[in-house]
Amino acid sequence: MSREAWIAVAVVVGVVALLTLYGAVRLARKVLATRRQLGPLTTGGKVAFYGSLLYTIFPIDLLPDPVYLDDMAVLGAALLYLTKLLHARGRLPGMPHARVAPDARSAELRDPRRR
């Protein structure tokens, strides 16, 4: 290969590395923000949160470090799990922190005069 071709390959690899690094940083910030919304965590939540961050930080990876696709997958899985915990606790942005009891809500829906 010519010198220009090697330079083009290096530029493409550099751009891919920067894009995946950007994606990993965004996912890590979302995981941290979701963790702040959750408050105290269960054991599964702690494993997902701390495990994903440790996997991202430590140099031992499934793929070499310039490619952050495996880190993004681990962070994405942790974000998915923590978001499910948020849904279960009813603490999504824009929702009140107090949940309505299911039977009170269903009675309210059945009888329009109770609204």
Question: Given this model, what pLDDT does residue 26 score?
Answer: 93
Question: Given this model, what pLDDT does residue 82 score?
Answer: 93
Question: Given this model, what pLDDT does residue 84 score?
Answer: 92
In this predicted model, what pLDDT tens digit does every residue of 3-56 receive, in sequence order? Answer: 999 999 999 989 988 898 899 899 999 999 999 988 888 899 999 999 999 988
Structure tokens that stand for 89 in this block: 């606790």
C-beta separation of 85 from 38 below 8 A: yes
Instruction: Give burial (CB, 10 Å; 0-12/13-18/19+) of 21.
Output: middle
Question: Given this model, what pLDDT does residue 110 score?
Answer: 54
3-state SS of the chain: helix, strand, coil percent to 5?
75, 0, 25
For CA atoms 25, 30, 33, 38, the dihedral sign is negative
Q: If you ran DSSP here, which 8-state letter would residue 68 be given?
A: -
**Angle 49-43-28 from CA coordinates, rounded to 5°:** 5
- Quick check: pTM over 0.85? no
Question: Given this model, what pLDDT does residue 106 score?
Answer: 47
pLDDT range class, residue 98, cuts 50, 70, 90: very low
In this predicted model, what pLDDT tens digit does every residue of 63-80 receive, in sequence order? Answer: 666 678 888 899 999 999
Structure tokens that stand for 9 in this block: 């390959």
